[in-house]
Amino acid sequence: MLRIALVGCGAAGINHLSYMLKTKGLKVVSVCDVNKDFAARAGKLAKVPHYSDAEEMMKNEKLDAAAVITTANAHYPVAKLAAKYKLHVICEKPLTLRPEEGEELIKLFKKEKLILAVTYTYRYVDTTRKMKALIDKGVIGKVNEIRQISWGGKAEKYKAGSEMRIKYDRMYQSDIKGILFDCGVHTFDLFRWFSGEEYVKFVGMGVCHMGYEYPDSGTILCEMTGGVRGIYEHGPLPHYLGGQHGICLSMIVVSGTKGSIVWKIVNKKKKKEYLSEFQLNTEKSFKITEMPIYSKCRDRQYVDFVKSVKQGSLAGSFPTPEDANLATKAGIDAMKAVMKNIVGK
């Protein structure tokens, strides 16, 4: 059994914990959060000791690994601390907030021969994996453009004192750089993964609807090697699950010289299930397939993490730590471009 501790017991941490508890070969030994109430909640759920100090926990508990599901600004110090105690790590994205910190962790974990896995969801989702397979087979020819449009979240702030308000205040008023960075790193990793190309230049513009320092809405254009262009758009759409079915909340489009692939997420609702729409358009055919809404595949991620530790190298669909760090760099560069063009501030 791989003995693991959860560090970070907020909403995301609790979700991760639910999958950790179900994973064969994984034993949750303890949990930790600087918020004592969050730690106690998770400890009660897992029926294990809870801590508010990560180092105290690592000293006192017999551990093999740590799941780092803290706020992004704590990923670097907590992962570094885990390496000090010779613990393998599975970390939420982004790996760190600064590429130089990511490079330091990569070297440290390699030196200690420890696994460093980063949870980039799109690399696990069945639909994006299907898109990747079609691209690699050359079904749509050479990729020219990739775009992702995401409409979600709220245009107003969450209720003062709520867990989400605490999370968003920290996200938008610190070096986490807001949701365009926090969600955008997924997109920037996806664009690299789909195209096999590297970033050259970013141009962006954003809007601060909620009055925070960093924008909650914006558009980012990416120039990539090989002539590939990327477009990422994110914006608020309040009450989007309030019964107005048929609204596409998110869409990923890959255009090539011989065709295109379109994935419309939450395109419609059938009975109680939200569905997505997958389109494959080529010179010879046009096909539409209805698919379930994707999950974050955390069950698969923890199974692969256990395998990774057993075999001594990353298993499954995890990106390499180097790829994860390049997503961080892209997110930083993209936000620098956006912050030059903030509208209405």
Judged against a pLDDT cut of 50, whether residue 127 lies above it is answered with yes
Q: What is the pLDDT of residue 265?
A: 86
pLDDT digits (tens, 9 = 90+) for 162-197: 888 888 888 888 778 898 999 999 999 999 999 999
| CATH number of the domain within which 35 lies | 3.40.50.720
pLDDT digits (tens, 9 = 90+) for 231-279: 999 988 765 554 445 566 789 999 999 999 999 987 677 777 778 899 9
Q: Among the three residues 89, 114, 139, which one is the final residue of a domain in this structure?
A: 114
Q: Is the CB of residue 12 less than 8 Å from the CB of residue 121?
A: no
Please indicate, yes or no, if residue 312 is contained in any of the structural domains. no
Same domain? For 172 and 190 the reply is yes
pLDDT digits (tens, 9 = 90+) for 43-90: 999 999 999 999 999 999 999 999 999 999 999 999 999 999 999 999
Same domain? For 141 and 289 the reply is yes
pLDDT digits (tens, 9 = 90+) for 305-317: 999 999 999 999 9
Please indicate, yes or no, if residue 320 is contained in any of the structural domains. no
Q: What is the pLDDT of residue 200?
A: 98
Q: Report how many domains make up the chain.
A: 2
Residue 265 CA to residue 274 CA, distance in Å, equals 9
What would the two tokens of residue 203 be? 């141009």
| CATH number of the domain within which 212 lies | 3.30.360.10
Q: What is the pLDDT of residue 24?
A: 97
Give the mean model confidence (pLDDT) for residues 114-124. Answer: 97
Q: Among the three residues 52, 79, 114, which one is the final residue of a domain in this structure?
A: 114
pLDDT digits (tens, 9 = 90+) for 145-161: 999 998 876 778 888 99
Task: Give the residue numbers spanning the domain of 105.
Answer: 2-114
Q: Among the three residues 57, 87, 114, which one is the final residue of a domain in this structure?
A: 114
Give the mean model confidence (pLDDT) for residues 320-329. Answer: 98
Q: Quick one: residue 320, left, alpha or beta (phi over 0 = left, psi -120 to 50 = alpha)?
A: beta
Same domain? For 82 and 172 the reply is no
Residue 69 CA to residue 307 CA, distance in Å, equals 20
Q: What is the pLDDT of residue 240?
A: 55
Same domain? For 110 and 129 the reply is no
What would the two tokens of residue 307 be? 């395998």
Q: What is the pLDDT of residue 152?
A: 75
Same domain? For 84 and 156 the reply is no
Q: Considering the entire predicted model, what is its pTM?
A: 0.93
Same domain? For 69 and 133 the reply is no
SS (H, E, C) the chain: CEEEEEECCCHHHHHHHHHHCCCCCEEEEEEECCCHHHHHHHHHHHCCCEECCHHHHHHHCCCCEEEECCCHHHHHHHHHHHHHCCCEEEEECCCCCCHHHHHHHHHHHHHCCCCEEEECHHHCCHHHHHHHHHHHCCCCCCEEEEEEEEECCCCCCCCCCCHHHHHHHHHHHCCCCCHHHHCHHHHHHHHHHHHCCCEEEEEEEEECCCCCCCCCEEEEEEEEHHHCEEEEEEECCCCCCCCCCCCCCEEEEEEECCEEEEEEEEEEEECCEEEEEEEEEECCCEEEEEEECCCCCHHHHHHHHHHHHHHCCCCCCCCCHHHHHHHHHHHHHHHHHHHCCEECC
What would the two tokens of residue 226 be? 């090989």
